[in-house]
Amino acid sequence: MTRPRRLRALAAVATATAFALLPAVPARADAIRDQQWGLEALHTDRAWQTTKGKGITVAVLDTGVDDAHPDLAGQVLPGKDLIGFGAGRGDRSWALHGTAMAGIIAGRGNGPGRGDGVLGVAPEAKILPVRVILESGDPARAKARKSRGTALADGIRWAADQGADVINLSLGDDSESAHPEPGEDAAVQYALGKGVAVVASAGNSGEKGDRISYPAAYPGVIAVAAVDQYGTHAAFSTRRWYATVSAPGVDIVVANPDQHYYIEWGTSAASAFVSGAVALVRAAHPDLSPAQLKTLLADTARDAPAGGRDDARGYGMVDPAAAIEAGAKQGPGDPGARSAQAGYRDEYFGSGPTPQGGGGGPAGWLAPSAGGLGAVLLALAVVLWRGRNPGGRNAAAPGHTPFPTGPLR
């Protein structure tokens, strides 16, 4: 027997302490699925005719993942905690952001026929959790930022050594002092050299000067910008030369360890969507190199901006179904191959910065009738309903102070 559920709304900007209570709205059993517009936007139904990601492991380097969440039960592999202290299971500041990202990537839903809860882009992929940051509300966060400066770089290398096929980095430093950190860059190149695709959020400084975000700006990374339901560039999403593709990042339903579901926004979510997309393509074409995968996503992206690319949306909306189809024509590649599309040819990763006045408008891919560290990349939370069983990133070097990309409250 299921517990009655209601749409209770609790808005919370992660950088603030105030909460706004929104009106309660009755919810049907499929209310969560009805609001997962991102799956339709990525044409996942077409991609799933070929694969749902079986055999692929996506490492989620984040604040931890709740392996007991009904939507993720059986999906989460034994992971690694590179922080070693801070909030633990059952605490309010434990694994919020990481669980949300894991659900977007590989959620399987729950309940009869798995018709309730969050369904991920690659629901048959496995999640490898690597804790490399603490939530913004964790009292130990300041300590972690001072004492766990190499956690991200170490986590990337560990995930690559454990056989991850994709590494999701829904995090970034886009503070005014953000700078490339050699250890992180080397770790990314290590992973790419082992054939691991690396995906990162482009940053949330679109309304704060479009500051460069790391690790998104490291060579070879698939950097993801955010768009809304109409394919329009999200104002908060950073516009920079390294943007590869765009993905849903506004009004995204996410799972939470507290057994509630939230509506979030940010390039964190966009990165997770693309990691799920890469998992689907890798499952269909396991021999493709990271450089080939990055090129494939760019070449098959939908609704490309004028001129083929801009800093706001990269090469357009990621389309895993189209990439799977085009991938059949690709030959196996050297895992460490370096191509211009992967970001090695020139100073810029891609075609260079978009001139002032560049694009970012609607792409028109969905009709209007369709219902950091340095920046908080998932910042707005709305409680949708309670499930049936209720119950940043840290400094990489002195002066390099990234943050989690989306504490939920």
Q: What is the pLDDT of residues 184-211, one digit of tens each?
A: 999 999 999 999 999 999 999 999 999 9
Average pLDDT, the chain: 80
Q: Does domain 6-404 have CATH number 3.30.160.60?
A: no
- Residue 98 · residue 406 · CB < 8 Å: no
Which residues, including other chains, have CB under 8 Å from residue 38's CB and lie 6 or more apart?
104, 121, 247, 248, 252, 269, 273
DSSP, res 298: H
Q: Is the dihedral of CA 93, 99, 104, 110 positive or negative?
A: negative
Q: What is the pLDDT of residue 132?
A: 98
Residue boundaries of the structural domains of the chain: 6-404
Q: What is the pLDDT of residue 183?
A: 97
Catalytic annotation present for 246? no
- Residue 364 · residue 152 · CB < 8 Å: no
- pLDDT(406) > 60: no
For 88-102, what is the mean pLDDT? 96
Residue 17 CB burial class (10 angstroms; 0-12, 13-18, ≥19): exposed
Lowest mean pLDDT among 58-72, 187-201, 224-238, 379-393: 379-393
Q: Say which of 43, 69, 97, 400 is annotated catalytic.
A: 97
* Burial readout 45-70 (b: 16 or more C-beta within 10 A, e: otherwise): eebbebbbbeebbbbbbbbbbbbebb
Q: What is the pLDDT of residue 360?
A: 53
Q: Say which of 246, 268, 275, 289 is annotated catalytic.
A: 268
Q: What is the pLDDT of residues 138-151, one digit of tens each?
A: 999 999 999 999 99
Catalytic annotation present for 275? no
- pLDDT(364) > 60: no
Gap between the terminal Cα atoms of the chain: 30
Which three-class secondary structure state does DSSP give residue 215? coil
Q: What is the pLDDT of residues 1-34, one digit of tens each?
A: 322 222 222 222 222 222 222 222 333 445 888 8
* Burial readout 361-380 (b: 16 or more C-beta within 10 A, e: otherwise): eebebbeeeeebbbbbbbbb
Which residues, including other chains, have CB under 8 Å from residue 343's CB and lie 6 or more apart?
219, 220, 221, 242, 349, 350
349 phi and psi, to 5 degrees? -95, 90
Which residue type does 178 have? Answer: A
Q: What is the pLDDT of residue 333?
A: 64
For 361-380, what is the mean pLDDT? 39
Q: What is the pLDDT of residue 383?
A: 53
266 compared with 391, residue with greater pLDDT: 266
**Residue 131: its H or E element:** strand 126-131
391 compared with 96, residue with greater pLDDT: 96
Kindly state the percentage of the chain with pLDDT values over 70. 74
Q: What is the pLDDT of residue 384?
A: 53
Q: Say which of 43, 62, 174, 201 is annotated catalytic.
A: 62
Catalytic annotation present for 268? yes
- Which tokens in the block code for residue 50? 């070929």
For 372-391, what is the mean pLDDT? 42
Which residues, including other chains, have CB under 8 Å from residue 17's CB and lie 6 or more apart?
none
